[in-house]
Amino acid sequence: MAARGGESYDSLVKDLQELVKTKQCGPILIRLSWHDAGVFSDGKLKGGCPNAAMRFTDAGEGTFGANAGLPDVALGLLKPITEKYVPSVIGHADLWTLAANVAIKEMGGPDIKTRFGRKDAESSSDSVESQVGRLPDGDKEIDHLREIFHPKGFDDKDIVALSGAHTVGKCHLDRSGFDGAWTEEPLKFDNTYFKEMLEKEYSEDKTEKGNPQFKSGSGTIMLISDLALLKDSAFKKHVETYAKDQDAYFKDFTTAWVKLQENGVTGLRDSL
């Protein structure tokens, strides 16, 4: 990892690496950081930042449907590490950010520099007002993706790069209403998401919850918002680039991901 903060930092990283290996929980740690930071907007809606407001479940972000599974499952997995290092070494929001970046590298992805200094929410009242207009829906098309991401400062290339995080993890029926993994190896962070999107044939499918999605012959899935990337040349050209060139994908993902993790916060530092 790029940032350093002495022995306590090194010990924290080792504990996170071990958690990802033993619990195979890298994808949900990535989702935790993404949904914590992804509420930021600077369009019609304002504000939001990575502040770990999800740890409060009386109201606010900890109760958002889009965050199902995060306050209980993700934070449950992190609990031993949280109790060991927060607040003496690191804050909650910084821990969630670092945990995601450790998980990405541990699963074969890029080594992403983590900066520190996010201010933790003090209660659920520090949440944004709603997930609507801030977090993307899996059953929407291109216009929706642009409406969500452009006010966060992301262009079309960034949207494609960030979508590539679906190369790991899976949809859980009881959380999102969607069901299945996007790729054959959902614990490997690489450019397979883009390769499979271009190479496989997908047919319309509905989950037991009635949610529309697409399924391949091998059982992997794509959401409407995934296949939307092939419907506009401004998106598709980047899908094609990333399918051919993993280094290009890792470079562009890292740029967009760091921006996502740092949106809405100032004064970050390189070490704890």
Catalytically annotated residues: 35, 182
C-alpha 242/C-alpha 263 separation (Å) is 24
Three-state SS for 60? helix
Q: At 163, list the tokens.
A: 């979508």
**Angle between helical axes of 156-163 and 246-262 (0-180°, round to 10):** 100
Which residues, at least 6 apart from 66, have a Cβ–Cβ distance to it below 8 Å? 35, 131, 135
- Beta strand extents in the chain (DSSP E only): 41-42, 46-47, 170-171, 180-181, 202-206, 212-216, 221-222
- With contact defined as beta carbons under 8 Å apart, do 35 and 89 qualify? no
DSSP 8-class letter at 138: T
